[in-house]
Structure 1
């Protein structure tokens, strides 16, 4: 179990932000043994696949450079031209093998930790120049692990090399009696297959090192409970600040709602616990809009403001509850309440006509049609 600088145990899994920050700084799991294994494996396979062709092309270069005529020897400019020609020919011969090795060198790190380029990891860290920190790293568990891996690699390579050399002893001796061209090709074959056998030993080292690197990287990323709390607080904001923001938002919404009540066409109550204020604009079309709603003290305040501005207040407990629970502020009422609200607005129009002396007093509203799915118990 790892321990933080404050002395607390790092028992918590790293958060996604912690993982992302670590990647941004270039701190991901890497295995040098995996890269060494892949590069060596590709080198052995490359020699097996391209070794014969490379040997023939390089032998041609040797023949051209050692088969010299008298005219060539007397030409001072010949050396430069021949050097350029031989270099191009040698590069062309080695190009497939070089590309294979380059691919292995890139794939190795990507297989563990993925593709990552971080400028932060290139910046100098003066903390690494501290002699005491360097001495501490020299005698750390990490240094001991690296030492054991180096000894293991040495022993594995040594044992495999001795076994391979012993098995190829007769072939190595026979090379001395072969023609030059055949001897070169034979030598490359022996080197390639010997390297391939050594790679089998390196695979064991890589198979052990990869889980170790993953475990160590995960241990470095682990967090204390306090670090998790602090990160959550920094990313989400402290509860006190969030509560204050919510309170301010509520107060602003409440003031806007109260300021919109004088524009309402009707206020529907139940009659004391709930109150909703509706407005309908025939020019804009659409459904009636909920300007304000509230319960208890807020409902009382809505009725008080409505009465002050001579807005008609109707009692319909079922409709008031239904609108209160189904509609948000500044939204249109649901389609299921269109018929009930239409009857209310028609009644409001008739009352206005009555007060203007252009119509008789309308009959009181009866039960309003409210769908069962929009009904709310008192």
Structure 2
């Protein structure tokens, strides 16, 4: 099957990243987890080695010193086992808890908490020869190989740098007291672990950025996927455009139906028409319809058919069109100009009624 990764040229959307997280597909470096565990182990060894040794050694010494007085029956042996188990648990409980916290922190620092069972579900790609070939000879395999070689070389160099100056003293350990040997080896071990932690920190940082880049490239989308996701989240643009067109048509029909109720039409003869309605007792005239070009022409046609006065006032028509919405009162700054027109129209109506 052809690889369509070349088509995925678009950056992933936030929805795409959230979906990947929900599936358990997150950017994760195992080297970061390893560093946290080794760093936590080094901290535990440097902080609790004395208390752990003493907590385990003291009950064992008591058992050996009083071996002749320990009863061999089942109840006594069970009690002794419980006693030793409690002592060991008390000695290593806190250090073990710190190691667990370090292991969890190694994951939490890379990504937020993930609860997903999808990675446990069987997938054909896991047993596919083609997928297996890609895992063996792909970028990830090459990166792991380079990491492994680098870590072997770096670890050997670190141990050589720490232990080589101590080679003469190590040769004379056979003549030392065991307590002295334990202290020296503990110090050397801590020095080696400290150097290893520093070396692995550089490896973990570099590997995390590599893994994040690989993960981000996997999440990239083709242009068609971006369009499909937009349609799913926002709706089909064609359908939305059709709905918007229907709404505009309905709004236009309602507006044209309100024109016969207008008191006056203020126009710029070629472009603008604003229909205003006013009755005694109203605080201010209300705009019942407005439009430009074709709609303005339709408003004037309806006004002529219903004998509604049409008044030409170019600056006022432009100003009202820009500042007043349908079913809103006219702005205060236009009260005076509109009042003159309304008064003129009412005067015409009274004169026409008197002649009749």
For Structure 1 versus Structure 2, the TM-score category normalised by the shorter chain is 0.7 to 0.9
Q: Please list, as runs of the form range in 1=range in 2, the aligned pairs for 1:1-378 lying within 5 A after superposition.
A: 5-6=3-4, 8-68=6-66, 72-73=70-71, 76-112=74-110, 114-119=111-116, 121-132=118-129, 133-168=131-166, 170=169, 174=173, 177-178=176-177, 187-232=185-230, 235-280=233-278, 287-354=284-351, 357=354
TM-score for the superposition, normalised by structure 1: 0.78
Quote how far apart the aligned CAs of 1:336 are.
1.9
**CA, structure 1 residues 167+84, in 2 after alignment: closer, same or farther (shift >3 Å)?**
farther
Task: Work out whether residues 21 and 114 of structure 2, in 8 Å CA contact, stay in contact via their aligned partners in 1.
Answer: no
**CA, structure 1 residues 186+288, in 2 after alignment: closer, same or farther (shift >3 Å)?**
farther
* Structure-1 separation of matches of 2:174 and 2:63: 24
List per-residue Cα deviations over 1:310-359 (Å, max 9, x = no partner). Answer: 434333232222211222323332332122223333444445555555xx
* Structure-1 separation of matches of 2:171 and 2:125: 49
* Structure-2 separation of matches of 1:288 and 1:94: 86
Task: Work out whether residues 264 and 291 of structure 1, in 8 Å CA contact, stay in contact via their aligned partners in 2.
Answer: yes
* Structure-1 separation of matches of 2:229 and 2:301: 48
* Structure-2 separation of matches of 1:88 and 1:309: 101
Task: Work out whether residues 57 and 93 of structure 1, in 8 Å CA contact, stay in contact via their aligned partners in 2.
Answer: yes
Task: Work out whether residues 175 and 187 of structure 1, in 8 Å CA contact, stay in contact via their aligned partners in 2.
Answer: no
Quote how far apart the aligned CAs of 1:94 are.
2.4
Task: Work out whether residues 263 and 277 of structure 2, in 8 Å CA contact, stay in contact via their aligned partners in 1.
Answer: yes
Quote how far apart the aligned CAs of 1:122 are.
3.5
Structure 1: segments with no counterpart, 5+ residues: 362-378
* Structure-2 separation of matches of 1:88 and 1:335: 87
Structure 2: segments with no counterpart, 5+ residues: none
Task: Work out whether residues 266 and 312 of structure 2, in 8 Å CA contact, stay in contact via their aligned partners in 1.
Answer: yes
* Structure-2 separation of matches of 1:200 and 1:268: 82
TM-score for the superposition, normalised by structure 2: 0.82
Task: Work out whether residues 262 and 288 of structure 2, in 8 Å CA contact, stay in contact via their aligned partners in 1.
Answer: yes
**CA, structure 1 residues 171+346, in 2 after alignment: closer, same or farther (shift >3 Å)?**
farther
Range with greater deviation from structure 2 (128-137 or 343-352): 343-352
List per-residue Cα deviations over 1:120-169 (Å, max 9, x = no partner). Answer: 64351423343312244223232232233223323433443455444555
**CA, structure 1 residues 167+207, in 2 after alignment: closer, same or farther (shift >3 Å)?**
farther
In structure 2, the residue matched to 1:374 is none
Paired positions, count: 353
List per-residue Cα deviations over 1:266-302 (Å, max 9, x = no partner). Answer: 322234532111234676x654332211223322321
Task: Work out whether residues 290 and 332 of structure 1, in 8 Å CA contact, stay in contact via their aligned partners in 2.
Answer: yes
In structure 2, the residue matched to 1:372 is none
List per-residue Cα deviations over 1:1-45 (Å, max 9, x = no partner). Answer: xxx834745444333343333333332321111221222122112
**CA, structure 1 residues 208+129, in 2 after alignment: closer, same or farther (shift >3 Å)?**
closer
* Structure-2 separation of matches of 1:210 and 1:116: 17
Task: Work out whether residues 55 and 184 of structure 1, in 8 Å CA contact, stay in contact via their aligned partners in 2.
Answer: no
Quote how far apart the aligned CAs of 1:175 are.
8.1
